[in-house]
Amino acid sequence: MWRRSSQIAGSLLGLSAVCLLVTTVPLELWPTPRPGDSYVFNPPPFSAIWVQQTLRPGLIIGANALLVVGLSAVLRRDSTSMSRLQRAFAFGALFGTGACLLGTLLFTTAGTDDIGRELTAFLIWALAIPLILLGLIGWGAGYLRADSTRLGAALTVPPVLAVAYIGLSVAGFSPVGRLLLVIPTSGMALVVGYDLWTGDTVSKDR
């Protein structure tokens, strides 16, 4: 039964990776109308404006929710073989990811003039992002120390590149920086999902 639930969680992480990768498709490759064209009140499905306003936010929210489910399955599977410190980092990463999901929901559902909700979302992100970065690095470092290189690298590399993303965004290179955020996160979801699917555990290595 536990093996089956792990495989389901692994599949959900794979779906999360697909959702994130779809968001990287440039708007120029989607059909018209596109952002910058004359205002369209009801853009047709799969048009560039519809993708920007509806599809991308929905995929990002869905991907974040699936990440929470998948990473929770990893923690549940390996918690007994973790040190207290690694477990604390894992809980911090999961709490931060859940908070980030809440902030995304608040931001995407905010009205045009709903400044209060948008500011709340930014505040949540400001608190959640450091938790995610530090939590994933600490969680992954525990796996690296246990000689679980694949899982450890999958958890530690995306946060490091996320810092590079923040730096590039501040410098004005947001399109390039976004790829440094999305692609490694998708890779993390695929690797961790594969780990869950195959049933590998840290306890086997110890």
What is the per-residue pLDDT across 50-108, written as a single tens digit (0 to 9) for each?
A: 898 889 999 999 999 999 999 999 999 999 999 999 999 999 999 999 999 999 999 88
24-60, pLDDT tens digit by residue? Answer: 888 888 888 877 766 667 888 888 888 988 899 999 9
Residue 142 confidence (pLDDT):
94
Give the type of residue at 198: T
Percent of the chain with pLDDT over 70: 87
**Percent residues over pLDDT 90 in the chain:** 53
The pLDDT of residue 166 is 74
Q: Token pair for residue 12?
A: 């959900």
CA distance 106 to 61: 11
- Residue 111 predicted with pLDDT over 70: yes
Tell me the two tokens of residue 101: 């999901």
Q: What is the residue-averaged pLDDT of the chain? A: 86
Task: Give 27's DSSP letter.
Answer: G
Q: What is the reported pLDDT for 38? A: 62
Burial class of residue 80, CB neighbours in 10 A (0-12, 13-18, 19+): exposed
Count of CB atoms situated within 10 Å of the CB of 65: 18
H helices within 27-173, ranges in order?
Answer: 48-50, 56-78, 84-108, 115-145, 149-171
The CB density around residue 159, as the number of other CB atoms within 10 Å, is 22
Query: In the prediction, which pLDDT does 27 show?
Result: 85
How many whole angstroms separate alpha carbon 97 and alpha carbon 163? 16
In angstroms, the CA 130 to CA 113 distance is 28
